[in-house]
Each structure stands twice: as structure tokens, then as C-alpha cells.
Structure 1
Amino acid sequence: MRTYLGELEELILLTVGVLYPEAYGVSVMDEIKIQADRSLNISSIHSVLIRLEEKGFLKSHMSEPREERGGRRKRIFTLTAAGKTVLDESQALRNQLYSMIPKPAFEFKLT
């Protein structure tokens, strides 16, 4: 059975992979702003991270306390094998569909 990701879920999974091994809520939010020019609030990021972990696409652990954070720990997220598989499937589907678009569909005329 194929699993389908929402656009935001896919974006967050990709970003967690990019930020390995330091993906946590705020870093994911900041990287999405840089890479996709999308401003998301931290609660929506956290809710998707938790949902993806519940689906088995991410795993998390608590970091050691850091002095610069006032001794607070961060929840660090990493991709699981299932997370990589679902990203691979999503990319393959997009590539397949894109390659099926006939060239004339991309020939735009100015009107």
C-alpha cells in the first residue's frame, strides 16, 4: 500500500534530512523560510513533526542541555528508513508524471 504525503509533510521530511543531524523545530522552521521562502509558525512545524513521527517516518531524541539555551534540551528529529522510502516514492511519482508531459504542453505562446 502506497503512502501519500501532503505537501507540507514532504517539505518538512526533506528539511529534516537536509539538517541532519541537527533538525529540531526552530531549525526546520528557519530552513524552510530560507529554502522555500515560506513563513510557518512553530506550532504548525511541531504538529507535523509529531505526526510524521507517529507515522514512523521520523524518530526523535532529546539533545543534551546546551549552555547557550539556558540549559534547555532540544528534541532532535531524524529520518527513518520508512521516511526515506516515502520520500523516494514521492520523488519517483513526480518524476514519472513530469516525464509524461508532452513537449507541446510546454510550448507557450505570448498572446
Structure 2
Amino acid sequence: MSKHHLGEFEELVLLTVAVLHDEAYGIAIINEMERRLGRKVSIGSLQTVLRRLEKKGYLSSRFGEATKIRGGKRKRYFILTNYGIKILETTKDQRMALWNAIPNLDFRNGHA
């Protein structure tokens, strides 16, 4: 597909944007990741990854309307591009191929 691959945090951000669909903006992404994954996410690290993913063509963004609650600031909403969907599908296929290649997987007994 391409020479690009996803880091773990990039993959989690893309998946969370997909989960949130039209409501994927900074704080909503952080809240969703923390709720679903039990993992703290800093706004700085998220913004860095969102910019990188947009630059790679996996995400696109648009600004919402300005609101009084936000002091006139507009939210920046993110959505997966077709290329972003493809990279997620490729990543999922690669992971599933590895999982399916493990012989006699039995984590209940502490070994494979």
C-alpha cells in the first residue's frame, strides 16, 4: 500500500476519530481515549499527532462555528480520509494475520 506505517498512538487516535465520527475534536478525542482505554492523554501530544496524521493524508479537518462559551474560539473537527480508512484496514489485517498465526493460543493457562 505505502511505505507509511502507524505507531501505536497514531493508530489509537485514528480509531478514536472513527468512533467519534462527526464529533471528533481535541477534548472529545482525549475524553474518549481516556474513558475507553484508561490511559491519560495530553493535549500537546494529541495535537502533535493530529497534525502529523493530517499531513500524511489520513485525516482532514474543518472548523466548527464560534461559540460564546468558548470565547469565540472555534473547535477543529477531524474526520478520516479514504486514505486513513485504508491504512487502518491494512493495519488491522496485519495484526489479525499475526494473531491467527499463533499456534494453540491459550492465555488462560499462562502460555501459548
Tell me, yes or no, whether TM beats 0.5.
yes
Residue 69 of structure 1: CA displacement?
2.0
Q: TM-score, normalised by structure 2?
A: 0.90
Looking at structure 1, the residues matched to 69 and 100 of structure 2 have their Cα atoms a distance apart, in angstroms, of 48
Q: TM-score, normalised by structure 1?
A: 0.91
Seen in structure 2, the aligned counterparts of structure 1 residues 86 and 109 have a Cα distance that, compared at 3 Å, is: closer
Residue 37 (str. 1) matches residue 38 (str. 2):
yes
Looking at structure 2, the residues matched to 9 and 109 of structure 1 have their Cα atoms a distance apart, in angstroms, of 30
Looking at structure 1, the residues matched to 93 and 4 of structure 2 have their Cα atoms a distance apart, in angstroms, of 13
Q: How many residues align?
A: 109
Equivalent residue runs for 1:41-56 within 5 Å? 41-56=42-57
User: Any gaps of 5 or more consecutive residues in structure 1?
Assistant: none
Q: In the alignment, residue 106 of structure 1 is paired with which amino acid?
A: D
What SS is found at the alignment partner of 1:74? strand
Seen in structure 2, the aligned counterparts of structure 1 residues 97 and 109 have a Cα distance that, compared at 3 Å, is: closer
Q: In the alignment, residue 89 of structure 2 is paired with which amino acid?
A: D
Looking at structure 2, the residues matched to 19 and 81 of structure 1 have their Cα atoms a distance apart, in angstroms, of 16
What SS is found at the alignment partner of 1:71? coil
RMSD: 1.6
2:68 corresponds to which residue? 67
The structure carrying a bigger strand percent of its residues is 2
What SS is found at the alignment partner of 1:61? strand
Residue 72 of structure 1: CA displacement?
1.6
2:103 corresponds to which residue? 102
Residue 22 of structure 1: CA displacement?
1.1
Seen in structure 2, the aligned counterparts of structure 1 residues 72 and 102 have a Cα distance that, compared at 3 Å, is: same
What SS is found at the alignment partner of 2:22? coil
What SS is found at the alignment partner of 2:65? coil
Residue 40 of structure 1: CA displacement?
1.1
